[in-house]
Amino acid sequence: MPRDIVLVIFDGFQLFDLAGPADVFATANLCTRSDGYRLRVAAVRAGAVPAHNGIATTAQVSLAEITGPVDTLMVVGGLSVPGRLRDRELVDGIARLAGSARRTASVCNGALLLAEAGLLDGRRATTHWLTAGELARRYPGVEVDADPVYVRDGDVWTSAGVSAGVDLALALVADDHGHRLARDVARGLVVYLHRPGGQSQFSAPLRALAPRSEPLRELQAFIDAHPAEDLSVPALARRTGMSERHFSRVFTAQTGLPPGRYVERSRADAARRLLETTDHPLDRVARECGLGTPETLYRLFRRHWRTSPGDYRRRFHVKES
């Protein structure tokens, strides 16, 4: 019996969120020379549904027309998702189908639709790094982890942003048929079977809040511009004319981060920029960022991005002219 995969779309969805997973399942069929997966695209109403990029995709069936149980319900994401949370036909349709599905999944910020349908309460989940804060604020019952490329919690799977839908679909294929088939599919599509590191390596620089106090804003700018300086709490407190204890309390209250953690994040971002834009050896990168040694640089990258500085450079290096 083929496994029935229902992919849910809506006006303004992200086309890659649909096409990536769909091609993984279709390629699995080619590799096995079978119809192991049957793909159906569904929407509130059947017919042409425009993606955010303007390309229309045909939803073969409406959500209401699907009456029997499905194997996998997968909800895609898109820039229009926040506005779709008020679409009761869409949200209620997702909730109904999930009730009879063997497993439910979301791609990117499609996790917001799962959460609105009550499917993520008490579960660990991920989403696009840009949406993780919104997911946590809107749905405090969800344990949001912004770094993994995908998360499985029981029969509910969620993925990070956009292309991570491919990683998620490969994991579903591996869960169904084993890693050998998933590996063959990955090879055919020329993608990683297991992407190195988490999605945070693709995120914007690690920023804190801008302080209300002008002296602290100036100090924040100094830290970001001079990562190799003495940025210890005593040195920073002296710059502001405060006691160490008072400085630490005020800085943490206004930026949301203790001074030491802010300095570490600032140095980590400085290291990322140097790895992306220069050919400096790792010992020079570490020195210029105030990290001292390549070993400290390595530990920092492992802690923040679960990858090594060398791997990060190979993926993101674009030398400035």
Q: What is the pLDDT of residues 138-158, one digit of tens each?
A: 999 999 998 888 999 999 999
Asked if the structure places residue 321 within a domain, the reply is no
Mean confidence (pLDDT) of the chain: 92
Q: How many CB atoms lie within 10 A of CB 132?
A: 23
From the number of C-beta atoms within 10 Å of its C-beta (0-12, 13-18, 19+), residue 68 rates as: exposed
Which of 253 and 319 is assigned the larger pLDDT? 253
Give the pLDDT confidence score for residue 203 in this predicted structure.
Answer: 62
Rg of the chain over all Cα atoms, to the nearest angstrom: 23
CB distance 309 to 282 below 8 Å: yes
162 plus 26 within the same structural domain:
yes
Q: Which of 171, 200, 229 finishes a domain? A: 200
What is the arithmetic mean of pLDDT over 24-50?
A: 96
pLDDT tops 60 at residue 243: yes
Q: Which of 157, 175, 200 finishes a domain? A: 200
* pTM of the shown model: 0.73
Please name the residues in contact with 220: beta carbons below 8 A apart, sequence gap of 6 or more. 208, 210, 211, 255, 262
With tokens 């091609």, the residue in question is 23
What is the arithmetic mean of pLDDT over 285-312?
A: 92
95 plus 233 within the same structural domain:
no
162 plus 218 within the same structural domain:
no
20 plus 164 within the same structural domain:
yes
155 plus 226 within the same structural domain:
no
Give the pLDDT confidence score for residue 321 in this predicted structure.
Answer: 41
What is the arithmetic mean of pLDDT over 216-227?
A: 91
Q: What angle do CA 56, 57, 61 make, to 5 degrees?
A: 135
The structural domain count of the chain equals 2
Which has the closest alpha carbon to 147: 256, 309, 305?
Answer: 305
How far is Cα 267 from Cα 289, in angstroms, rounded to an integer?
Answer: 5
Through-space distance between the first and last CA atoms of the chain, rounded to whole angstroms: 57
How far is Cα 154 from Cα 152, in angstroms, rounded to an integer?
Answer: 6
Give the pLDDT confidence score for residue 305 in this predicted structure.
Answer: 81
Asked if the structure places residue 263 within a domain, the reply is yes
pLDDT tops 70 at residue 189: yes
Give the pLDDT confidence score for residue 59 in this predicted structure.
Answer: 98
pLDDT tops 80 at residue 210: no
Weakest-pLDDT range from 12-21, 85-94, 251-260: 251-260
Give the pLDDT confidence score for residue 204 in this predicted structure.
Answer: 56
What is the percent of the chain where pLDDT is above 70? 95
pLDDT tops 70 at residue 202: no
Asked if the structure places residue 205 within a domain, the reply is no
Weakest-pLDDT range from 107-121, 206-220, 291-305: 206-220
Q: Which of 138, 169, 200 finishes a domain? A: 200
